Amino acid sequence: MTTSNYATERETTEGKVFTVTGGDWDQVVSGTDPINDERIVVNMGPQHPSTHGVLRLILELEGETVREARSVVGYLHTGIEKNLEYRNWVQGSTFVTRMDYLSPLFNETAYALAVEKLLGITDEVTERATTIRVLMMELNRISSHLVWLATTGMELGAINMMLYGFREREYILDIFETITGLRMNHAYVRPGGVAQDVPEDAIRKIRDFLALMPKKLKEYENLLSGQPIWTERTKNVAVLDVTACVSLGVTGPVLRSAGLGWDLRKTMPYCGYETYEFDVPTHTDGDVWGRYLVRLAEIRESLKLVEQALDRLKPGPVMVADRKIAWPAQLAIGVDGMGNSLEHVAKIMGQSMESLIHHFKLVTEGFRVPPGQVYVAVESPRGELGVHAVSDGGTRPYRVHYREPSFVNLQALPAMAEGGLIADVIAGGASLDPVMGGCDR
């Protein structure tokens, strides 16, 4: 006797009705549904799906549910770490600043701290230079978080937030341009100090920004925090608890949103952060919503740090006194807006022949760094940014490797995405805030 795989059925005034008795519903359906076990593989990318760069995600879907997710990186392949081996130690600043291009000043500072540690001049860096580094990094943290807020808003349908986030970021980029001459990729923080001092008009702009930004943050919260679509797309989405974060090496706001207040500025302080007053915001839900709240709170803490740094700016040099190391910091821009002015060149040449020879050798060859290796880490907007620098005693690095948080944090994406909906891959990926320039360095 042949038994039908289908449940018994009957016609009613409401349509066809199936009667299932006994057994598990999944077993009954799998016996009759020809596409129950059929999965499709979708390439999400390589393009910009909730990332600041080129990322490819290979998703295996069952309906709209993600059963398997794999991240594929390497599409930017900048080769910055390898290029550093062919440039002198100071020129390295112009390369590392281009890795995570949303937080260039963190790349530069971590590199400079590593070179200074190899040189043994950490304590010789002037107070003003160190304060300027803190000032610039915290402004950069705010601008980076604003890009995250803007792009995540765009991914989840809050187009106005995208416009507002980039609008406020422009204030900070204008400040950076006033101080360094560039909006991005500054090569401003250099071994021994910074390239040039902070002008008075930049300080006025920073004061104006400190008065403006708290009001804007309140506007963001009014726009998003009570918005039902925003809360539905972020709460209990892409959950990653503290155990998973620690197991996967995840750091930064993603880790703090899971409840662990690990921040290198507090736990392993550098640049005098232990002397500043600020809190480390945390949340306990470990979801996209928690990461949103943590980043908003971090912007407020960075504003406090910027204000303290401004109050600490005392007159003084911005480069170490050792002329065998100090890259010329008293720059004077020429009429073309690029090279040094003729007056500055004449001043260098008029000091002495030895001074001119030394200046020429310093610029063309660079200084020698004693052999050794160090690891130095800073708290970037995305987490622990570490530099492993190795010197063989020459004027160029033997090896420089970055422990880049975007690269490390991306491995958490499958844990966040698998078992969830394909739409939540976008929200979860965006909440990691990966910058592929740092990942593919």
CA 355 to chain centre: 41
Question: Each residue of 250-283: b (16+ CB within 10 Å) or e?
Answer: bbbbbbbbbebebbbbeeeebbebeebebebbbb
Range list for CATH 1.10.645.10 in the chain: 80-325+367-439
Compute how many other C-beta atoms are within 10 angstroms of the C-beta atom of residue 219. 14
Q: What integer pLDDT is reported at residue 43 of this predicted model?
A: 84
CA 427 to chain centre: 17
Question: Each residue of 10-46: b (16+ CB within 10 Å) or e?
Answer: eeeeeeeeeeeeeeeeeebeeeeeeeeeeeeeeebbb
pLDDT in single tens digits along all 441 residues of the chain: 445 555 567 777 767 666 655 555 555 555 555 555 677 888 887 765 445 568 888 888 888 888 888 888 888 788 899 999 999 998 889 999 999 889 999 999 999 999 999 999 999 999 999 999 999 999 999 999 999 999 898 888 888 899 999 999 999 999 999 988 888 888 899 998 898 889 888 999 999 999 999 999 999 999 899 888 989 999 988 889 999 999 999 999 999 999 899 999 999 999 999 999 999 999 998 899 999 999 999 999 999 999 999 999 988 888 888 777 776 555 555 555 556 666 766 776 666 677 777 777 777 888 889 999 999 999 999 999 999 999 999 989 999 999 999 999 999 999 998 888 888 888 888 899 888 888 888
141, 294 Cβ separation under 8 angstroms: no
Which of 292, 265, 39 minimizes the C-alpha distance to 146? Answer: 292
Give the global pTM.
0.85
The two tokens of residue 441 are 């360095």
Q: What integer pLDDT is reported at residue 332 of this predicted model?
A: 56
Which of 283, 220, 253 minimizes the C-alpha distance to 381? Answer: 253
Contacts of 375 (CB under 8 A, 6+ apart): 114, 386, 387, 388, 389
254, 432 Cβ separation under 8 angstroms: yes
Q: What integer pLDDT is reported at residue 336 of this predicted model?
A: 58
Q: What integer pLDDT is reported at residue 39 of this predicted model?
A: 79
Which of 41, 68, 52 minimizes the C-alpha distance to 413? Answer: 68
180, 195 Cβ separation under 8 angstroms: yes
Q: What integer pLDDT is reported at residue 48 of this predicted model?
A: 58
**Which residue type is seen at 302?**
S
Q: Which fold has domain 80-325+367-439?
A: Cytochrome-c3 Hydrogenase; chain B (1.10.645)
Helix (H) or strand (E) holding 383: strand 383-391
DSSP for residue 412 = G
Q: What integer pLDDT is reported at residue 1 of this predicted model?
A: 47
Q: What integer pLDDT is reported at residue 401 of this predicted model?
A: 94
The burial of 77, by beta-carbon neighbours within 10 Å (0-12 exposed, 13-18 middle, 19 or more buried), is given as: exposed
Q: What integer pLDDT is reported at residue 351 of this predicted model?
A: 66
Q: Look-up: residue for tokens 């880049």?
A: 404
Please give the Cα distance from 165 to 149 (Å, whole number). 6
